[in-house]
Structure 1
């Protein structure tokens, strides 16, 4: 069978790489083409049609400023799909792009699966009508999403969260550690806004060792330009081991918040974006939190510092608080409840099984 996979962000690339490995077990003769990143590339030994570095754009203003590039990528993707003539196209998150591709696939009667739901429960609920019109099968990874879609008479499969398949949730982070990890995001524009504020607290903790858990495809030079003379190490390998051995992590909102929670590492969620994007998001987003940890738990289990609240003073205050044992213990207890909600594991295997069923239709 021929599989065409589209992921446009670092988290989607991770899920893509896991799924490719599972599909190959079920279909040893599988042939792939994809839009994605280095993790999928390492599994397939095949370059992506478009790399996520040229796909990952976040924010209303940022998308508008790069509209020509987005349209060019869409056109190339459609052309490659028709040339490849896949048996199925797997769309992973990345809704601004993938919902347009879903419409194209529907028009050309090409089978598809949407894996990892767009966060329409948070904003832009009107997208449900596009989803119902153009998508036949969807696998969701957050526990409340199935109920959400059922309320719109759209049946989806809850497979659990794929991060549970690769990270050990039984081991707590080292509370005695003198390590602090920075996870400033996966896109250049967000890292440039978030990382400098994270760096500003280093001087207050001379007894601690600091790490930036970097994105390999962005390269060391990109980070070094921002870090300058700060005493911090940028790491691209063994990142999970460092995160697990950190007493606390400062994390840009996104999938990394769940990853940090699964490692039982206490965290502070940090985010800053373009001012116009911030006010538009504040108006449009209908959920009270931005981190997936808090959204799933339906409470502020981890502190969120967003936009104007994300500054050196507040960051130091929250970091001092989180280094207190009683506060750490409360966060880890909430993490235990979160992990139970995320499912029983096997998300990738279940998704591969759904794909097999679609191909048999």
Structure 2
């Protein structure tokens, strides 16, 4: 069978890679063409476009690059027609993927969506488009299935793929890790400033106000694999921090606490049982627009799944050096840390068991048979 998979960022690349592995295991003759990253390519997909070519964040950034995006959409449609897949599989990245789905469904392609667009967070009117253009939806959060049930749209709840990714991650020896990267014996505070250049620049500058205040800790930046070290070093300057790229899970597995840019990383940090402060700041225009259309109590996946404020969220004007220091002191308190650990274990139970990629691959292949 022929599969065409479209993912749009680092997390999509990770989940897409695991899905490719399971598809190939169930269908040894699988021919897979994909938009994603290095992980999907390494898993056996033929990479058409790397996600970093369309890593645009926020409304203003998308407007600035609109002609490039339109060109990519046109190219993607031509490439799908050239490949003529048995299954067209979308992973998150709704802005791009739903446009392709609208075009693909009338042409007779069988459409699958793994990891639903966040219609439950904003613009719920998109459910109408999803029902009309997506044949099979696979959701990874329990409340998302409940959301779609309310719209009379049958979806498959497969559990969260991060459970698999982290359960299968090899145990890291803290002393060996520190020695390998010339770190000392002080506890590690992980700084996760995001994966796109615009957000890294905004987030890291404020995060870097912390290291000078806490010499008893060593601060490690988890660098995204798609950016050069020179990009980070221009922001870091002479701050007492260490940059380690493409080692996020290793860093989290030995971290004492973390500052995390809102996104999938907040869930990853929680599953590694690391106390965290969730941070986010966008451009003033993007934030003003987002605030009008996003109707949620929380921004982090941890709090959304638990439906309560498990981790502190510092958003936009609240994301300041003073507030970071205040909340860092809170998560350094042993009583607070114990409370967080208990909530993290409950979170893991809510996300379900392992096997999300395997279940999704089996369901996709079953529809083709």
- TM-score range for the pair, normalised by the shorter chain length: over 0.9
**Pairs within 5 Å for 1:30-41:** 30-41=30-41
Gaps of 5+ in 2: 175-184
Verify the 8 A CA contact 1:141 1:161 in the aligned structure 2: yes
Verify the 8 A CA contact 2:111 2:133 in the aligned structure 1: no
Verify the 8 A CA contact 1:186 1:215 in the aligned structure 2: yes
Verify the 8 A CA contact 1:185 1:191 in the aligned structure 2: yes
Distance 1:291 1:177 in 2: 28
- Are 1:323 and 2:323 counterparts? no
Verify the 8 A CA contact 2:222 2:247 in the aligned structure 1: no
**Which residue matches 1:163?**
162
- Are 1:42 and 2:42 counterparts? yes
**Which residue matches 2:130?**
131
Shift of 1:168: 3.4
Distance 2:55 2:347 in 1: 28
Verify the 8 A CA contact 1:6 1:91 in the aligned structure 2: yes
**Which residue matches 2:261?**
252
Shift of 1:282: 1.2
**Pairs within 5 Å for 1:131-280:** 131-168=130-167, 178-280=187-289
Deviation string 1:197-255 (CA, Å, 9 cap, x unpaired) is 01111100112111111111212122111112112111124431221211101100010
Moved more, 217-226 or 351-360: 217-226
Deviation string 1:112-143 (CA, Å, 9 cap, x unpaired) is 21000111111000000000111110000001
Q: Could you tell me which of 313, 333, 345 is aligned with 1:304? A: 313
**Which residue matches 2:103?**
104
**Which residue matches 1:68?**
67
- Are 1:350 and 2:349 counterparts? no
Deviation string 1:312-336 (CA, Å, 9 cap, x unpaired) is 1100010011101001111111111
Q: When the two structures are superposed, what TM-score results if normalisation uses the length of structure 1?
A: 0.96
Gaps of 5+ in 1: none
- SS of the residue 1:167 aligns to: helix
Distance 2:51 2:168 in 1: 28
Q: How many residues align?
A: 358
**Which residue matches 2:14?**
14
Distance 1:146 1:177 in 2: 43
Distance 2:262 2:321 in 1: 18
Let me know the Cα RMSD of the aligned residues: 1.8
Deviation string 1:257-281 (CA, Å, 9 cap, x unpaired) is 1100100001100001010111111
Shift of 1:177: 6.2
- SS of the residue 1:49 aligns to: strand
